[in-house]
Structure 1
Amino acid sequence: MTRRVAVVLFNLGGPDSPEAVRPFLVNLFTDPAILRVPGFVRPLLGRLIAWKRTKAAQENYAIIGGKSPLRELTEEQAAALEGVLNTAEPGDAYKCFVAMRYWKPFTEEAVAAVKQWGAEEILLIPLYPQFSSTTTGSSITEWNAECAKAGLSLPTSTLCCFHSDSGFAQATARMVEEAYDKARASLPADVPLRVLFSAHGLPEVIVKSGDPYQWQVEQTMAAVVAAMNVPGLDHVVCYQSRVTPQKWLGPSTDSEIERAAAEKVAVLISPIAFVSEHSETLVELDVEYRDHAEKLGIPGYFRVPAQNADAGFIAALADLVRRTQHSARTLCSFAGGRQCPRPHKDCPHGKANALQAKAA
């Protein structure tokens, strides 16, 4: 008998109009996983931060048509993934749902849609390759809360990360290598080319408190470089999108661009922690950092596109979905069990083990 399997894709979300920018930012900055201050302060402080950032954010979104393309791109990924799953796994009926954390379609909407469809099993799949308590962790918390409200209780398996998955690494490496070859061909032979693997930053304090994100980003870079056929590749990991005065992960992407310009090295930017185009790639990387690089006289500035609905990426994602479904674990990484070193206590496997030990 055919089972109905709901595949829920987690992503950040983005405003769908200029008017949606401020409420989107309010949702973002009032999330306890993002703004880590006492609860009684957070609503007021989060709204203040959102108010202060609204005008600049609206100006950024105006560059790309006044809204984020993330919903449409994620829905394209969901449709492509659903098609692959239903072709390759004829014994089950798969339907993909999108659950955005900070804008439509919200998690609440996805829960209602899964319930209405009559799902018999749920697979939670983040579109964040690397786990962070600020992204996948927040989405899982919200999903569980909304399921409790809606009375949705079904067998559920959760994929926490796929930072070093071989299929993901190979699909990404192909895209990076294609962009590298194209960039290399457009440059004079005597101009060096460096790949900057740029990931969204985090305040250092979050990582020092146990978040595994930085370690996982570094693992992704290593896996992608190993899958590329470019001997002696000049590359570095760096971090973008700093939004608070705190000390953030480094080196920053802009500082690496400045170093490359000073050394007369061209750069190829690879958005290593994003699998869809959005404001951080289309504006920050393609407009702001490009302008900064050109003003510094950099000999070449190039960018690897995000995966979006790339066939290789979708095939890797489908494989991850199948492995999650057929795992004996309700919480699994791309490799099954825990991958993060023990000091990363915010790894969800570590937290799950701690809860089990406490219950025993």
Structure 2
Amino acid sequence: MLILAHLVTVSWEKENHGVNTRSNEGQKEDIELHLFDLATIVNATKDFTSYNKLGEGGFGPVYKVILHCSGTLEDGQEIAVKRLSKRSRQGSKEFKNEVALVAKLQHRNLVKLLGCCIQGEERILVYEFMPNRSLNSFIFDSTRHKLLNWPKRFHIINGVARGLVYLHQDSRLRIIHRDLKTSNVLLDSEMNPKISDFGLAKTFGGDQAEGSTNRVVGTYGYMAPEYAMDGQFSVKSDVFSFGILVLEIISGKKNTGFYHPIHDLNLIGQAWRLWKIGKPLELIDSFLQESCSPSEVVRCIHIALLCVQQRPEDRPSMSSVVLMLGGETALVKPKEPGFLINKKLETECSSTKIVPSSTNDVSISIVEGR
């Protein structure tokens, strides 16, 4: 199927990303990228039928397409077509946000945006195709989790950390992802991780590193306490999410829905309990025991617990995390994590806040951690 793309410069008003500053207001954002024709995308996806569908997130469905003629793009290249759902809470603002951000980002651990389609009411993003899909399709699957031994998981942890360092300090603007989770970490043919989905990201210029919002969006189980409860976000919000990600990669368990038959703790609580009694290796996915380096796993658990500490100022920066993962710095003693919840007490807690989830567009209650 023929898909034609031509290189254009797209201009639109640059959004003020919820930052208390006037520096971004009213500016034009010029972005050079490939503009794809809607009719040929519709034909290539067979009118967006489920046959070519890879999956669906808060933004909308994603389809796999093969380019047979694409102007300056490689002939025969596999691409991922992400179509904005008309029912999605992530509308044109998030679409423009993602295009404006990702078109300028170049890092081996960030998914590459190839172009977009803006025609009528359609909003479509065209990405490089990631043949192994998302991280959560492996670590939470009863069969496929065996394809990720410890060296591969440690490689993924390091790659995600380096991608966040780029976002937080090495790119032209400081970028806070705000929705880092296993389904937003994609894997290429060699299992290299790439952070995706920047629809909820926030940008800062200069020395600014934090902000606030009245519209708390993200995914339950990965949000930092200060963001979920008070709408305060910073680079340390992403650090908290990264800590959850590491605990999930090590354990093969989701933070949400984790159940311990005796202690009634969530995944963070279980990791903290095992750490305090000197048995952190009991957290590990049993499949990994033969392939792992115990000292490396314990170090990763230690780092994860530092990342999920209650107070943002206690959490390390991602550049420090990269050094820690490389064994280049000593590790301090972690303090009690945020959202350390005993499930028996969860329904008795009266301090709750309703926030929308980016995963399924429903309102959820988040219980404040001790």
TM-score (norm 2): 0.29
Higher relative contact order (CA 8 A, sep 6+): 1
Name the structure with the higher strand share: 2
Name the structure with the higher helix share: 1
